[in-house]
Structure formats: structure tokens, C-alpha cells
Amino acid sequence: MPAICTVCSKGAILKRPKTGNALCKECFFHAFEEEIHHTIVHAELFKRNETIAIGASGGKDSTVLAYVLKLLNDRHDYGVNLVLLSVDEGITGYRDDSLETVKRNQEQYGLPLKIISYEELYGWTMDAIVKQIGLKNNCTFCGVFRRQALDRGALMLKVDKIATGHNADDIAETVIMNVLRGDIGRLRRCTAITTGTDGALPRCKPFKYTYEKEIVMYAYFKKLDYFSTECIYSPNAYRGFARAYIKDVEKIRPSAIIDIIHSGESLSVKKDIRLPVQGVCERCGYISSNAVCKACVMLEGLNKGLPRLGIGKTHKERRKMQEMLQQETGAADSTPCTDQSLKSSCKCENKTDQSECSSQTYDSDNASGCSTYSKSQKCKDGCSSTNPRTVAKEKLSIFGKLKQPPSIDF
Amino acid sequence: MPRIMKLHRYIDHESQMTPIDFQVTRGCFQVYVTHKFRAAIGKTKLVRDGEKVLVGISGGPSSCALLHLIQEGLSQRAHKKLRFKPGLLFIEEGQVVGQSLEERKVTLTRIHSLLRQSGFPYHLCKLADSLDLERVKTLSACQSNHAAVNKMNQSAMDINTAAVNKMNQSAKDINTSAGNKMNQSAMDMNTCINPVEGDKGEVEKSGHGENCCDLLEMNREAEKLFAAQLGSIKSISGKEDFVRALRHRLLLEFARQHGYSKVMLGNTGSQLAVRLLTDISTGRGMQAAMETAFADRRNTDMMFLRPLRDFSSKEIAMYNNLHRLECVFIPSLTTMGDVGASIEHLTEAFVTGLQAEYPSTVSNIMRTGEKLDSSSAVDIESHCALCQGPLDTDVGMSSALAALRFSLEISTMGKSNGKRCIKGDNSVNNTNDELCSNGVNYDAKVECCGESDGSCRSSTQLSVPDEGLVLQTLCYGCRIVAMEMDDVNSLPEFVMKDVAWRNRRSVMKAEIQDFLLDDR
């Protein structure tokens, strides 16, 4: 017996993963689009005459997002200007293919496109980073760098907001992952539909309540073209565990994904828990909860041949560096200062102590992290093997106060 | 060279799990466990001297360990012994898995001997009793074996509550081996615990021991009702949730009726980590903090304590092995089931698997749970009628709940396919989360007697409230369970009474709305 669409009573061709109702194609399109419209309207995501950058990776979420936002913008007259923004991490075999898709999207939807690459911003591609750090913890680098890259690109285009294609499954995974990791600050923020309203560019997630399966279904029936491969470096990511769990729970109870988001929204944190406070990075001026932002720390580590600088425990890394300096530098004045400054501020767990380590003998080295690329290129070639000799010659500037490098004004 | 943990010199005061790669001697381990247990209770200063605490014993390994720890802690020879008065309660749940009468009798007998040996007053009841809470009042404590008491615990700190039909007699029913002072206080306690008429209760013979299986024979109607309700819930996860809510309610009511002021449960840290994740996955995020905290203050008059929350299941197993404690295995709905049988089972497999690779998983999860706020709701009307957790459905239009409702609405366009018309019939623009009610659907219009104390009995059967009204009194997680049932009105009696009471109150409030100054 053929199934009947529960809305218009014609023949149904699919079953909705979210609610289990049988629907025909047009009713499904209508339901899908109206739900996103409902989300946008009730969360007040867009205002008239704003410029919105759509984070486009070429994957299913961003392709469908671009399509649907353009459609809804025309249909319901939001009055926003849409642009596509894409980030090239430099992963061969993955990113270069997906960028072709984005370029196709640009032609199909008639939206302007900007591509920004890690190479041009930081001087490192993900391939090179993975060679240094290995296959575990590389997602940390990519994620931190991409966030900054999106913001910088958006600022270059002078947009008001960034819209990303994070769907319900992603948010549910993030909630579970944050519980597993014990990251209470992120746990509180991750279910918000708009984040980053103070300081940096706000980002919104119009797909927050949309199931991944429904996005795929929509793209399939609308014959939208996208690039669908997993990042080649991702299989060992911690997020994979959370994702597998979510998929299994969804099999048992399809509404579980929305249930998890609801739980995440109703979680409240005790008042006396210390949460990170937002400040500004000293070196590049980007927002940061520590004195130096994570991207700068990571870059410094990569450039000096200590790739785990951004990842390992702070005090251990400092100890390693101290040992390295002691081995190499014959200069007497730097060593006692190093000892003293590290001793006083090496109280380990508190990351903000990093900034207190001020020592005048450290030369204000040119910011080898963010803006000067030629130096970092040289450095990259020089220290592909972690040879302590070449590393220690340059004074480690990460723990000293520097002059502000010229950078984009946030 | 393996690292040795020398406990006699330094005891870790943080509530952390045992580091896995340490080796300990037996003596040190015993000290470690005992210290952690006592510290957990003593640190919070919640259990006062002489307080009556109901200990929920399920027969599993953690319950046995808890019982043993309490016994050790209360015994005279303990260094600074604990000072509260435990009473044990076992809830028989054989009906949930469909065990036969013989199997249930076997389990019951084994548990009974276990409880009797402990020397504390113990009670037995079954899960179906939660549907007939009136009867709970009349269940009395079983006498602990007098000889066993003498052997185990010289400073017999406990009283044997007399059987119901002996209530009206004088203090000579009380037999403790303590002095007259104890008798006096015991007599006082007895007179205020069971204020019921003698003829209502079942007659329990004193020294009742061997007839514990009478429990299974009594109250067959409640069992049938329970079976029907359980059967109407379709998914195993829903059944588990329902059973848990009933169990909690039964513990609560029992403790209230018999004069206990706190309830102690033996959940270990590993179990609680699984519980936290399961709660998040079933939409019970707001209660997740309460379920995993040491003190669960969901109900303001009864606190639930979990002193074993800092122990992992491995430590408990080692402890049981050390003392050769015997546990009774009681099957649950997902025993021998495959991994995807229910959400809790899946989560358990997930956490255990992750723990094997990343040994700090369980402690991370517990730490996250500690940081969550388990604020209790202010008044009784913002409690879920089924699980007594806080209601978390008062969210705005930009929320998961509203989005789900909208999806259902738009996928069915207001056409109700039978009975499920609760979600969002033409209620698109509601500003608060009122589920639609197709008008109040009362069977018979009855006149209210005007008393507002909940004793309105103007018809022999309370009028049947609308499905929407019932669902409104449930939290998000319990709604999922209730909607799986065929008929929401077949929820347990205590839920329906609560619904009716709240409905009456909201009618009252609507009448006087204009004159209320405080918007509460």
C-alpha cells in the first residue's frame, strides 16, 4: 500500500527523519524551508540591509545553506546581501576539490566569492602542519586557524555577520563532546544560535534545528551539487566518538538529537565556577581569553619547531623550552632571568600566568607568527627537523612583551 | 617499577578516582575506601546525629558495598563511628522483566536473608506499590532477627517498629537490647510513625521472616495496572524511564510515610557518569545535575544522598572481593540485550569503551556534572508530576522545543491522525508554552464542593482531563515517555491527581488574576 503524504494526501515519496511523517516532495521542500524561516525569524538572525557572509566549504551544509538563504531572502524579503566566503586550508585531495564546488556555486547562485588561505595568512598549510604534529591533535590547529581566517576574511569584505552551516547533529555532537571533555565554558555557549556578539563578528547558525539527513535529502531531491568526502585527517579526532554515539542514539530514538539540544539549552552553570574572560591578544589584536591568542601560540610553536606548544600543558612546554635554552645559550644574563621569571609565574594550571613572565633581556623579536611571512618561510625550511641548535638561537618571544605588530584593526 | 601509593601517610583529600596504575596493599585500600566514604558523608555535614536514613538496597554490588560500609561505620569499633539510624528498603522489580512467581520468590528470599543479617530494620515492597501509595503507609518494618542483632551490633542503635495491629498496645512490643531510654524513644517513634487505623493494614506477624513472599501475593490489582501501563510504553528506553520515575516516587513516599528524613542510594561514579550522559540524551538536561550530585534536593522535604559517587565500579568490585560480599543478581530490561536496546545501555557501552582508551573519561564527566547547577524549583507547581524534577518547558519561541513543535505541525498541517492532536493544533503564535487543548474535555460536569484543599470528591471518579493538560505538567523527558503510551490518562494515580489539582489551581488563579500583585 503506497504511503500518503500527511499534508496534502498525495503519494508520499519519503519519510522525514525528524518526525517520521511520510511526505511528498513539494511538501517536504515547503516544510524544510518554512522551518528554517521560522528559526531565522524567531531568533531574529537577520536585519534589513545587513551583509551576511556564508561560510562556504563546498560541502553539503554550506551548499544547501547558500541555496536556501538565497531562496528565503528572495521569497520573504529579508533585505540582506549575501556573499560567499571560503577558506583554503591547504589539504591536497580534499580542499582543492571542494573549492571547485564553491566556485561552481558562485556561478549558479550569482553570489560574490572570496577565498582566503592559510598559506597567505599564516604561512603554513595543513599538510605541513600534519607533517610536524602527526595525526592526533591536528584538528585543533585547523579549527583555531580557520576561525581566525573566517573572521579576517569577513572583515576584509566588510560584512556584519557570518552564517555557518552547523546543523543539529553538529551541535548535539558538540554538547556531548564538551561534557566528555569537561569544558564547562564552551558547554554553556555552544547551544546559542548566535555567538560572539561582543567584540568579534557575530556568527549565526540557521541550520541549528535541521537534521543532517534532511539536508542531504533536500540536496538530493533538489539536485544540488556538492562535494562529500571526509577530511583525510579526521578519523582520529575525538569528535568521532561523539559522532558515533549520536548516530547510534538517533537510531534508537530519532528525536534524540533535538532532545540533546534541548538539554544543552537548559543546562545552567553554578555561579561560582571560574569561566574564561574575553580579552585581546597582545600580538595580533584578535580576541582571546589569554594574553596571547591560541593561534599565535601555535604558530610560534610551529615556527620554532615545538609544534606541541599550543597543545601540551603550558608548564611542561615552558620547562622544555627552559631546558633547551639552558643547553644552547651561553649568555649568562638571559639564563637567570629565565629561571626567575619562570619560577615566579609557573603556577601551571592557570594559563593567564603566561603573560606575567616578563623579562627585559628578551629582544623584541619581530612577530614571527602572524604577519611577516618571509621570515617564517625561512624558518619553516630551516627547522623542519627539530634541531635545537637552530631553534634556540632565536630568542623565544612568546613569553615576552612585544611591540604591537601592525595588524588588522578589530 | 610500579608506583606504590602509601596511604598511611597521605590521603588524597580531593574527591578523585583511584589512579589506575597504582598498586596498593589490602590494608591501605580498606583505609582508602572507608576514608572516602566517611569523607563524602562528613564533608557536607548533611547527616545529623540520630537521623533516620532510608538506604535503598537493590541487591547489586554497589548496594552490598554500601551496606557493608555502613555496618562498618556504625559498629562500635570504628574510629569515630557514624551516627545515623539506617533502615533498609528493597524494591522488588521482577514484574518489570516478566519474571515468573517462582523466580521472584527465589530472589526475594535471598535478599531477605541478606537484609536480615545486617541487623538493621528492613522493609520489602514491590514496584507496583507505587501505583497504590495508600498501601505504602501500612507496610511495616520487618523485625530484624533478635539474635542477629545481638551478635552484630551491641549498641543496638535501632528500634524494631512493631506490626500494625500491635500499635495500639503499649511499649512491651518493642524489644531492643538497649536501655530503657532507648525504649522510651522507640515508643515515641512508633506512636508517630503509623497513625493508621489498625484494620486497614495487612497483618504482619512478628518475626515475619519466612513469610516475606506474601508480598508477592498481595495487591494483585496494582500489579495488573502496572503491567498494563508498562506494556503500553513502546520503547525500552521509555520503559526504563518510567520504572525509574516510579522507583524514585516509591522511595520518596515510603521515606515520608515512615518517618525517614533522608534517603541514601548506592550509585557509583561510573554509573552516575552514564546517568548524566543518558539524561542529556533524553532531554533531561535540567535534572542531570541533580541526579549526579551528592545531595539531590529535588524534593525539599526529602534529600537523596549518594555517598558512593566518587568510587568507580572497579573499586567497588575490589572492595566486595576483599570482604567476600555476596550480591544478588537481578536482571533488568536490557540484560543480555544488544547494545542498541535502549539509550542507557548504549551510553553505558559508550562510556565504558571510551574509559578503556582515555582513563580520565569518567572523572571528567563527573567533574562537569559537579559544575552544573542543580537549583531546585521554588514551588510545587514547577515540578514534573511524574519524576519530580524541575519543569524545563517554559522556553521561548527560539528553542528546541518550539522548533520541534513547529516541525510536527508543519508536517501534519493540523490534521490529527487519530489521537495525537496535542502538538500544535493552530497554536503557532502562542507566546508561552501552552499545549493546545481542544477545549476542556470533561466527561461529566461535576460541581466542585468549594474546598480548595484538594479533597474535592464531588464525583466518584475524577473527571478525565484533556491530554494537553496532562502533558503540560510533565517535563520534557517525561513527555516523551507519556506520548509513547496509548492513553496518557493511564499514567499512575499520583500523576493524575497532581494534574487535577493543578488544573483546579489554575482555574482559581484565572479567577483572581486581576487582583494578584505578584506575577507568580
**Predicted local confidence at residue B410, as pLDDT:** 83
Residues of A in contact with B282 (CB under 8 A): 253, 256, 259, 263
CB contact under 8 A, B350 and A255: no
**Predicted local confidence at residue B13, as pLDDT:** 42
**Predicted local confidence at residue B145, as pLDDT:** 43
Q: Identify the residue among B350, B398, B432, B483 best suited for mutation to test binding to A, counting A beta carbons within 10 A and taking the highest.
A: B398
**Positive or negative, the Cα torsion across B503, B386, A263, B416?**
negative
All 3 cell numbers of residue A76?
A: 520573504
Rg (CA), chain A: 24
Residues of A in contact with B398 (CB under 8 A): 39, 42-44, 193
Residue numbers in chain B where pLDDT is lower than 70: 1-23, 76-81, 135-212, 374-381, 414-465, 518-520
Is the CB of residue A249 less than 8 Å from the CB of residue B344? no
Pairing of strands A81-88, A51-55: parallel
**Predicted local confidence at residue B517, as pLDDT:** 79
pLDDT greater than 90 at residue A260: yes
Which residue of chain B is at minimal alpha-carbon distance from A29?
B411
pLDDT bin (cut points 50, 70, 90) of residue A120 is confident
Which residue of chain A is at minimal alpha-carbon distance from B376?
A268
| Average pLDDT value for residue range A217-246 | 83
Tally of CB atoms within 10 A around B195? 9
Chain B closest-CA separation from residue A171 CA (Å): 12
In DSSP terms, A22 is beta-bridged to A15
**Which tens digits make up the pLDDT trace of A311-331?**
766 667 667 777 776 776 654
Q: By CB neighbour count within 10 A (0-12 exposed, 13-18 middle, 19+ buried), where does A354 fall?
A: middle
Rounded Cα–Cα distance for residues A49 and A247 (Å): 39
* DSSP output for B49-102: TTEEEEEEE-SSHHHHHHHHHHHHHHSTTSTT---EEEEEEEEE-HHHHT--HH
CB contact under 8 A, A261 and B417: no
**CB < 8 Å from A in window 235-264 of B:** 235, 237
**Predicted local confidence at residue B114, as pLDDT:** 87
Which alpha helices (DSSP H) does A253-333 contain, by range? 256-266, 294-304, 314-328
Pairing of strands B262-264, B302-305: parallel
Rounded Cα–Cα distance for residues A65 and A60 (Å): 8
Pairing of strands A194-195, A203-204: antiparallel
Which residue of chain B is at minimal alpha-carbon distance from A24?
B411
Phi, psi of A395 (to 5 degrees): -70, 140
Name the residue among B289, B397, B400 with its Cβ closest to that of A209.
B400
For A17, what's the count of Cα atoms within 13 Å in the CB-facing half-sphere?
Answer: 19
3-state helix, strand, coil in chain B (%, to 5): 50, 10, 45
CB contact under 8 A, B480 and A255: yes
Is the CB of residue B435 less than 8 Å from the CB of residue B468? yes
**Predicted local confidence at residue B294, as pLDDT:** 86
pLDDT greater than 60 at residue A383: no
Is the CB of residue A57 less than 8 Å from the CB of residue A98? yes
- The reply to whether B317 touches chain A by the CB within 8 Å rule is no
Residues of A in contact with B395 (CB under 8 A): 265-266
ipTM confidence score: 0.74
Which candidate, A220, A221, A212, places its Cα nearest to that of A258? Answer: A212
| Average pLDDT value for residue range A39-54 | 90
Amino acid identity at A54: I
Q: Mean pLDDT of all residues in chain A?
A: 75
Name the residue among A6, A181, A264 with its Cβ closest to that of B415.
A6
Which residue of chain B is at minimal alpha-carbon distance from A36?
B403
**Predicted local confidence at residue B171, as pLDDT:** 39
pTM: 0.74
CB contact under 8 A, A263 and B288: yes
DSSP type of residue B372: B
**Predicted local confidence at residue B139, as pLDDT:** 64
pLDDT bin (cut points 50, 70, 90) of residue A246 is very high
Is the CB of residue B350 less than 8 Å from the CB of residue B277? yes
Chain B closest-CA separation from residue A140 CA (Å): 18
% of chain A beyond a pLDDT of 70 = 75
DSSP type of residue B205: -
Rounded Cα–Cα distance for residues B408 and B221 (Å): 38
pLDDT greater than 50 at residue A372: no
Residues of A in contact with B403 (CB under 8 A): 35, 38-39, 208-209, 258
**Predicted local confidence at residue B467, as pLDDT:** 79
**Which tens digits make up the pLDDT trace of A128-179?**
888 888 777 777 888 888 888 888 888 888 888 999 999 999 999 999 999 9
Name the residue among A38, A263, A271 with its Cβ closest to that of B406.
A38
**Predicted local confidence at residue A169, as pLDDT:** 93
Rounded Cα–Cα distance for residues A345 and A354 (Å): 7
CB contact under 8 A, B368 and A184: yes
pLDDT greater than 50 at residue A373: no
- The reply to whether B400 touches chain A by the CB within 8 Å rule is yes
**Predicted local confidence at residue A35, as pLDDT:** 92
